[in-house]
Amino acid sequence: MTNSTIQQNFERIRSNKAFELFVVTVIITSALLVGAKTYELAPGSRSIIVWLDMLITVVFVAEITIRFIAEPDKKAFFRNGWNLFDTLVVTISLVPIDNSDLVLVARLVRVFRVLRMISIIPELRMLLASLLKALPQLGYVILLMFIIFYIYAAIGATLFESINPTLWGDIAISMLTLFRVMTFEDWTDVMYETMAVYPLSWVFYLSFIFFTAFAFLNMVIGIVVNVMHTEAEKMQQDKDPEAPEISLQEVQQQLLRLQHLLEAQGGSGSYDQASTRSGQ
């Protein structure tokens, strides 16, 4: 049996509905297992979970192997981000861990198996892709907000450190405190504390809230406008994808050409009539 026929056989397995359903079931079981492990369990069910865990790992290894062999172009397999992600998660969960300190890490790796639900459902994959696609275009707004945070945090750490080092100890802690202020979480407690020393420090907080709220608002509006434009263009293309775009100008020019043709013809017609008449 050649490599090629093996590949085709595996491709048939991969495209099999029953196989797909089986993989989805295993992924959901693995997600439920992740949840189950957070509960206090009887020793009996604990051993079942360990056993199930191993079984799921085996199935995942088998599934990725099948998908890899089924792929005609081996390089294309690793060019797909989701395949890389699946392989990574499965490979890491294969590493045997005896050290009790790393048990926690091993459990966390298994949590990321839940993300395989996104990789298996095409709609979710598309949704995540569209979310990530919106990110870069917001780059400059995020940079601007970071600068606003940085400047206010530097001022806060300079002025308020002596008042409450837990909140304003250094620039990193100050930025966390400012994020808290931005979410309006007990922000007045923070403000009243500094207002006891600097009575005008409300200007600091109110201007910060104003700037971040305004920048955030602009960001949201930016996304909305962008999404709407994309949608409007998509709708335009859906209407008549192959037709070239025609403007009213072109229609008008066509009408002008018609008019010239008519006038020329009318003129030649008159001439004709004249010649006919003169010919009599």
Touching its own copies, residues 11-50 (CB under 8 A): 31, 34-35, 37-40
CB nearer to its own copies: pick between 92 and 159: 159
Cα separation of 7 and 72, whole Å? 7
Angle of the 17-36 helix axis to the 3-15 helix axis, nearest 10: 60
CB nearer to its own copies: pick between 90 and 153: 153
Site string for its own copies, 180-219 (x = CB under 8 A): x--xxxxxx-------------x---x--x----xx-xx-
Number of residues that bind its own copies (CB under 8 A): 100
CB of 267 to its own copies, least distance (A): 10
CB nearer to its own copies: pick between 19 and 150: 150
Structure tokens belonging to residue 220: 């949201």
Structure tokens belonging to residue 193: 């504390």
Exposure string over 87-98, b if 16+ CB within 10 A, otherwise e: bebbeebeeeee
CA dihedral (213, 215, 218, 224) positive or negative: negative
**Are 26 and 56 in contact, with CB atoms under 8 Å apart?**
yes
Q: Which residues in 240-259 contact its own copies (CB under 8 A)?
A: 240, 243, 246-252, 254-259
DSSP one-letter string for 17-54: HHHHHHHHHHHHHHHHHHHHTTS---HHHHHHHHHHHH
Cα separation of 44 and 39, whole Å? 14
CB nearer to its own copies: pick between 6 and 126: 126
Structure tokens belonging to residue 215: 């920048």
CB of 124 to its own copies, least distance (A): 6
CB nearer to its own copies: pick between 80 and 130: 130
CB nearer to its own copies: pick between 4 and 276: 276
CB of 249 to its own copies, least distance (A): 5
Q: Which residues in 44-103 contact its own copies (CB under 8 A)?
A: none
H-helix or E-strand spanning residue 211: helix 202-239
Cα separation of 196 and 190, whole Å? 11
Q: Which residues in 113-152 contact its own copies (CB under 8 A)?
A: 114-115, 117-118, 121, 123-124, 127-128, 130-131, 134, 140-141, 143-144, 147, 150-151
112 is a site residue for its own copies (CB under 8 A): yes
CB nearer to its own copies: pick between 14 and 180: 180
CB of 100 to its own copies, least distance (A): 14
